[in-house]
Homo-oligomer: A and B are copies of this chain.
Amino acid sequence: MQRTRFDEMACSIARTLDVIGEPWSPLILRDVYVGIARFDELQRDLGISSKVLSDRLKWLIDHDVLERREYSRRPPRHEYVLTQKGRELCDLLLVMARWGDRWTAGTSGPPVLYRHHACGQIGHVELHCSVCGQPMRATDVDVLPGPGSGENVRAGAVGD
């Protein structure tokens, strides 16, 4: 389908999308996050074709989001586990789930609840500022050009 590459764009959103911007990847990530880790489990749970699953897993491994681990030689059995980079991507899933709960959930309420280890309560994520700790939504910020805002962010291309 000759897709436009996003990985060279001077935008962290675009570069994130280059890694998980196609729709199956976040769902694969979700499954691995909740413990569905083996190829055939993933395929069954997602209803994805094995070809596409295979492609996506390779992609995610190549981008250091997942690791393929052999948990049994003889018979050879494998599972996919999150890297640190992948675990941090799961934060994005929590935010997606929150938006989906608010705007797309049916009459029956949210399909999944999140219990916070620290307080033991069912809650959801809220965005706060890393500096002052107050709520920080998209509507609460100004967007300014940063040091990496050059046209082409290849190695060594230091911004203006």
The answer, among B85, B88, B129, B149, for a CB contact under 8 Å with A111, is B149
**What's the least CB distance linking A21 to chain B, in Å?**
4
The answer, among B1, B48, B112, B146, for a CB contact under 8 Å with A149, is B112
**Chain A residues close to B by CB (< 8 Å):** 1, 3-4, 6-7, 10-19, 21-23, 26-27, 30, 33-34, 47-48, 85, 87-119, 121-132, 134-150, 153-159
Can you show 15 pairs from A to B with CB atoms below 8 A apart?
Answer: A10-B111, A12-B111, A16-B96, A16-B97, A17-B26, A19-B104, A34-B143, A88-B99, A88-B137, A94-B136, A105-B148, A106-B157, A111-B147, A114-B143, A123-B129
